[in-house]
Structure 1
């Protein structure tokens, strides 16, 4: 009965989803006006004339596009407890962003509106779509196992016990409505543990006897938990522990390189996978079709979107375009204005539109996470696809990887640069050179700039692969205090900083 009621309740959102599919521009313009109306009395609202109800064009002319660094002086004031700076009222929660393993953390405000009208509304919508697509799984008859991070006292407000910072997953779980907390596992006292190794051990022990129907989290860390549960149970695979498991809602990293590994970990015909795209700044999209990797852009979830074409990413005065101007196949940097007080904020992610009716996207990478040392312009989307192809061709399964340039060596007169890849396999390929060939060939097929640089090996050498032993990336993350939660390895970087740290670890 509970499952039936919950399914009925969440599926009431299907009409709202269909509405913003059919009327995307009206929904977005109405949302923008609502944001401006709510924030008109804040410092930013007064500074940029939000009370005038500016049009989308006027809003873009008045308010500059801001990076985190641009916005930080005002964000720090909010962190220290000032009210009505970017958004009305006090703010008690902040997501400590770990989009990369950079030493500097980002602190993103999470308001009541962004939780309830953003993350939770999108969560209900995802549940509505999942139960509609896969009614046979009967998700609400059991539990959804979700992995997340933790939260701590706000270091900017030592005198306050109320203000907290942490992974966005921890912020969301700590504030979940009762109905959502009822259907999830493990309990909060385990889910929010600080120590990652202890967390995995205690969660695995707890969920051995739980009827887990769905998983939600980052693939890399879900792998660790599933393996430990199987080991504790003395089972051959997870289906013997959770026979009703049928759905994995995954995000944070591209799933392609992990798909084969999950087939091995969960060898059950009923298993289904849906991708979500959420971040500290908001919940942006999810997969709403079972046989497509495209993600439906969420348009009434507290986020107003603009898009920065690639030729504007490094422009001194970048010009963004509206949703009605985007084109298929082009990569755009996301610019967002939100109900957490982020105004024309450059999140750093890039997306590519695959459909304009309705608006569907794929994540193509990061504005700062790509390989372009020699004009090759390899984005994360290219790298994930090439790794997947190489795994499929050689029977390998990947655990993690990163890549960085090998620059021209002026000392020995080398005339070519190249890319160095550090790869950690679950199942290593029998022939590493073959893996490298397929990786290289796939990149050439996907990326004409890379192909041009690789022509006859003149400008760019073939990929140089370094196979790392099991646990390499986990130890590296642990050494940086970034183990667990939403932390992940940077896939691509024009700097060799991360890669050199990993290589040093291998040599010591």
Structure 2
């Protein structure tokens, strides 16, 4: 009875936010314009504000003319100043937390500033909104009669010059409101453990006896944990362990390659999947409809959005547009201005709009994670869809993959080379390769044109990875844990060659 009352009260409190969400749905451009001016007024007396004379900026047009679009490398000197304790550089309130992120492309770590406002008005507000939207769509939910099994990053917070850095998830957990900690499992102590391979059994030990009603985490790593739990318990599926589990909140990587595997271990007809889009730089979008694959862009989290059409990205003709000027079904690189002092910052992600009333998006990839060596403009969204089609045809499941170009040499044509690790392999790798190549042509007309009669591109090359190859590669790179991701696509061959070398070395060791 007590849990039911708690569930009802929590649901009522969270659903009150719906009216504020409806405001930005009705007036998206006004909300964004007002937010931009508020950010400018707040930062007028910072080093950044004085440099670009923020007090005199009164419109988006003057802001766009005066403040340059920036990358992490552009902002790094100011971020380093702040990491050493200097304040009021790019944001007026104290910046003492930095989300450490190497992304999926750079070995060099990035330290993304996290302000108090970003924690409260973006990340934690988004966490409440996620629950609000879910509960609004599912009136009979019993979410708060149990706990959420969360799987965050595996790095601790490290103090440096009176500032702190670590995985964003570690920062969030360390500063988590009491209500969120009360409704989550495992404990903060276990969640913040730094050693991934010791963390897994600790999570299992703490969560097995809990009434888990939801999961939250990156699909690839969550799948590792959930399969380990099934292995430890000898159960066939997760409902035998947690009969009341009702939803999985996921983000970080595309869910499509893992969907069928989750359906096998969660064979519950009314089980829900809710996608989120967050990063070290902020929380951007939330699935707001049951069963949808579109995400509602959240416009009142202290983040002002701009977009660069990918057909001009990185060229002399590159242009930056605001939300009011986006078009449906075009790929855009995201540029953000935030309440943690990131000004016109390119986060490296690409999206396309599936709706403009309201603004809903799909994540299509990364600006650095696409292949366009031959004019094929291949995005992660394309490869995920093609893999799902090929897997459905051949009744197989994948664990991870990466793709790189085979460069033209002399008269030899180019191609794409894949390395795929299967959970359940196809009966014929060659038949799978052909289906994958055909599926890619179906989902990407530019790839299809380059493949026509092998005019520019030869058929793709497929390498089948040994079991555990990607896990071992991440371990060797010190990237085991809930927030690290496999680089899916690259215009270079670095990752592919590292994986092929590791696979060859394993084969040599086995033969020896």
Give the structure-1-normalised TM-score.
0.96
- Are 1:112 and 2:116 matched, yes or no? yes
DSSP 3-state at the match of 1:202: helix
Which stretch has the larger CA shift, 200-209 or 133-142?
133-142
Q: Distance in 2 between matches of 1:268 and 1:60?
A: 50
Correspondence for 2:458 among 457, 461, 465: 461
Q: Flag the 1:207–1:154 CA change in 2: closer, same or farther, 3 A.
A: closer
Query: Does the CA contact (< 8 Å) of 2:278 and 2:285 recur in 1?
Result: yes
Correspondence for 2:470 among 470, 473, 482: 473
Q: How does 1:247-262 map to 2 (within 5 A)?
A: 247-262=247-262
Correspondence for 2:502 among 492, 500, 505: 505
Q: Distance in 2 between matches of 1:488 and 1:460?
A: 28
Query: Does the CA contact (< 8 Å) of 1:310 and 1:331 recur in 2?
Result: yes
Q: Distance in 2 between matches of 1:212 and 1:326?
A: 41
DSSP 3-state at the match of 1:361: strand
Query: How far 1:318 sits from its partner (Å)?
Result: 3.9
Query: How far 1:99 sits from its partner (Å)?
Result: 2.4
The residue number in structure 1 matching 2:510 is: none
Query: How far 1:319 sits from its partner (Å)?
Result: 2.5
Q: Distance in 2 between matches of 1:365 and 1:422?
A: 18
Q: Distance in 2 between matches of 1:333 and 1:117?
A: 24
Q: Distance in 1 between matches of 2:488 and 2:230?
A: 29
- Are 1:91 and 2:88 matched, yes or no? no
The residue number in structure 1 matching 2:266 is: 266
DSSP 3-state at the match of 2:321: coil
Unaligned runs of 5+ in 1: none
Q: Distance in 2 between matches of 1:449 and 1:317?
A: 21
Query: Does the CA contact (< 8 Å) of 2:154 and 2:195 recur in 1?
Result: no
The residue number in structure 1 matching 2:479 is: 482
Correspondence for 2:438 among 423, 437, 441: 441
Unaligned runs of 5+ in 2: 506-512
Q: Distance in 2 between matches of 1:152 and 1:183?
A: 21
Query: How far 1:154 sits from its partner (Å)?
Result: 4.9
Q: Distance in 2 between matches of 1:239 and 1:101?
A: 37
- Are 1:359 and 2:359 matched, yes or no? yes
Which stretch has the larger CA shift, 386-395 or 99-108?
99-108
The residue number in structure 1 matching 2:378 is: 378
DSSP 3-state at the match of 1:36: helix
DSSP 3-state at the match of 2:311: helix
Deviation sequence 1:202-247 (CA, Å, 0-9, x none): 1011111111100010001111111111122221111100111110
- Are 1:63 and 2:67 matched, yes or no? yes
The residue number in structure 2 matching 1:425 is: 422
Which stretch has the larger CA shift, 98-107 or 497-506?
98-107
What is the alpha-carbon root mean square deviation over aligned residues?
Answer: 1.3
Query: How far 1:129 sits from its partner (Å)?
Result: 0.8
Q: How does 1:25-424 map to 2 (within 5 A)?
A: 25-152=29-156, 154=158, 157=160, 159-160=161-162, 163-316=163-316, 318-410=318-410, 413=411, 415-424=412-421
Query: Does the CA contact (< 8 Å) of 2:363 and 2:381 recur in 1?
Result: yes
Q: Distance in 1 between matches of 2:319 and 2:158?
A: 35
Query: How far 1:153 sits from its partner (Å)?
Result: 5.3
Q: Distance in 2 between matches of 1:80 and 1:139?
A: 42
Q: Distance in 2 between matches of 1:311 and 1:472?
A: 35
Query: How far 1:458 sits from its partner (Å)?
Result: 2.4
Q: Flag the 1:469–1:140 CA change in 2: closer, same or farther, 3 A.
A: same
DSSP 3-state at the match of 1:311: coil
The residue number in structure 2 matching 1:23 is: 27
Q: Flag the 1:152–1:196 CA change in 2: closer, same or farther, 3 A.
A: closer
Q: Flag the 1:152–1:242 CA change in 2: closer, same or farther, 3 A.
A: closer
DSSP 3-state at the match of 1:137: coil
Query: Does the CA contact (< 8 Å) of 2:190 and 2:202 recur in 1?
Result: yes
Query: Does the CA contact (< 8 Å) of 2:105 and 2:368 recur in 1?
Result: no
Query: Does the CA contact (< 8 Å) of 1:354 and 1:362 recur in 2?
Result: yes
